[in-house]
Amino acid sequence: MIATDALIAFVAIIDGGSFSAAAARLQQTPSGISRTLSRLEAQLGVRLITRTTRRLELTEEGRWLLERARDILARLGDTEARLQASAAVPAGVVRVNAASPVLNHLLAPLVPGFLAAYPQIRLELTGAEAIVDLIEEGADVAIRVGALADSTLNARLLGSSPLRLVAAPDYLQRCGQPAQAAALAQHRLLGFSSPAALNVWPLAQAGQHGWPVEPALSASSGETLRHLALAGAGIACLADFLVGDDLRAGRLQPVLAAEVLPWQQQVWAVFYKQGQLAPRVACLVDYLARQLPLQRS
């Protein structure tokens, strides 16, 4: 019978990319991790990882086992969580993946309250601007903004945030406040490097389909665009959860407020679920659904 700790060590080596990273994560020594892998390979009679001086590579047998090891450990984790739930005290680690603006502006302010309510839960928050595979990243739940494309995921709508056109007072003093959408052609516009849909601005003059813009300055992150706007680099279109505090403090000012359509960016919790959602994950999703400063229908 394969030992659970051997599977845990094997997965940790792959996730960490090295024996030392796996050792740090599991609070063991690199030599101990190496011996565990060697015993597993000897037990199975196959080599799972090809070791070179620069990196580790999975063999065909290793790839086959990795997929099954992840599934086995997930099921064991779910079993443990359900047993713990019988005592009505959710416990364990919840790994959350989200873009850095979501982590900084939506999740981080709520973490102290959540941990106070659920002291036996530990959170691991990982930032990623691009959409990631939850299984490969070892994430329990991801918080995503906008339309969802992956139909294999379960999702729960947490709320929505209106879009705003904003600029710094310094920029508007230098370049003037545009009186209508057509005047944006005379301004420096800040937008997303991808996808193109994020550069369609909610302006009534263009109709319900919005106003496509060609940014003079692009970035992959809404947080970067926020900082550029705060620095007076131009006009940006961003969600209220990103710029609401700046607008209230006067660090940013609304642009074409009377022309902006009531478009909303939806915020979702997405996760893989086989049967009942693990209590440690469910309590976090429920908490976010109650506490996030978002509009709810």
Secondary structure of 130-162 as H, E, C letters: CCCCHHHHCCCEEEEECCCCCCCCEEEEEEEEE
For the entire predicted model, the pTM comes to 0.69
Q: For residue range 209-228, what is the model confidence (pLDDT) as tens digits?
A: 889 999 999 999 999 999 99
Which domains occur in the chain, in start order? Answer: 4-84 (1.10.10.10), 90-158+266-291 (3.40.190.10), 161-264 (3.40.190.10)
45 dihedral zone (left: phi>0; alpha: psi -120 to 50; beta): left
210 dihedral zone (left: phi>0; alpha: psi -120 to 50; beta): left
Q: What is the mean pLDDT of residues 15-40?
A: 90
If you count DSSP H runs as helices and E runs as strands, how many of each does the chain have, helices first?
11, 13
Q: For residue range 71-100, what is the model confidence (pLDDT) as tens digits?
A: 898 888 877 777 666 556 788 899 999 989
Q: For residue range 98-138, what is the model confidence (pLDDT) as tens digits?
A: 989 999 999 999 999 999 999 999 999 988 765 555 655 67
Q: Is 29 helix (H, G, I), strand (E, B) or coil?
A: coil
